Amino acid sequence: MQFIDITQGFYADMPSFQAKWYPKSAIYAVMTPETDPAHTGRTFTRLELFAHNATHVDVPQHFYAQKETLDQIPLDTFIGHTCIADLSHKAPREPITGDDLEQALNGIWTAGSRLIIRTDYHHHYWGHADFWDKPPYLVLSAADWIVEHGAVLVGLDCITDKPGDTTQPVHFRLLGAGVPILEYITNLHQIKQPTGYLIALPTKVDGVEAAPVRAIFVEDFQGRASL
């Protein structure tokens, strides 16, 4: 088996969406070996992480106050057989349609799978000042395709909705249908096979709409597509 880390991790002063309400992530040393009062050389760290930066998952409560929170999503949603739609030819600001998904997944898609949409945008543009301004993005026909073809989760390395579209139709369509969205994944160019096994477990937090995820794609998973 081959394990590929597709997680964008947190780090101090990492890029963040330029909005007043969007908090920065921070890492603080609570105790260092030099300040340990017991003189045992211990280190303690405090993390201030925003649930919608770095690799994370959105669940229905993000847009629907009365729908499922993170702790109510079955664990097998985040683990299992996964198909990759290779759309790495997409240019910045180019939409991703249902026809794009149909063509990319023809012959490999199985209902009940998890879907990863590859554009390589994150790989090429993470850290650029205009990262949030020019990515490829899903349109409503893509969201319809995902729901109608029985995806249990969708992950992507671009942006879910068109930049600047405050109506967020794709979020509403996917989350309204109970399809969690795994956002800000990366390193999809390292994956060589169109199908595999995803492990994308979020941090367990009760009553929230999103949480950080450590996402791993497993190739050559001994053909266990039913898992």
Q: Where do the structural domains in the chain lie, given as residue ranges?
A: 2-219
Structure tokens at 118: 């590859």
In this predicted model, which residue has the larger pLDDT, 226 or 18?
Answer: 18
Please, what is the average pLDDT of the chain?
95
pLDDT tens profile 28-40: 999 999 999 999 9
pLDDT tens profile 42-99: 999 999 999 999 999 999 999 999 999 999 999 999 999 999 999 999 999 999 999 9
Pick among 3.40.50.360, 3.50.30.50, 3.40.50.2000, 3.20.20.140: CATH of 2-219: 3.50.30.50
Q: Report the alpha-carbon distance of residue 200 to residue 213 in Å, rounded.
A: 6
Q: How far is CA 81 from the centre of its chain?
A: 16
Structure tokens at 13: 């002063």
Element (H, E) at 117: strand 114-118
| pLDDT of res. 150 | 98
pTM of the model: 0.94
Confidence of residue 220 (pLDDT cuts 50, 70, 90): confident
Residue 225: pLDDT above 60?
no
CA atoms in the 13 A half-sphere facing the CB of 112: 5
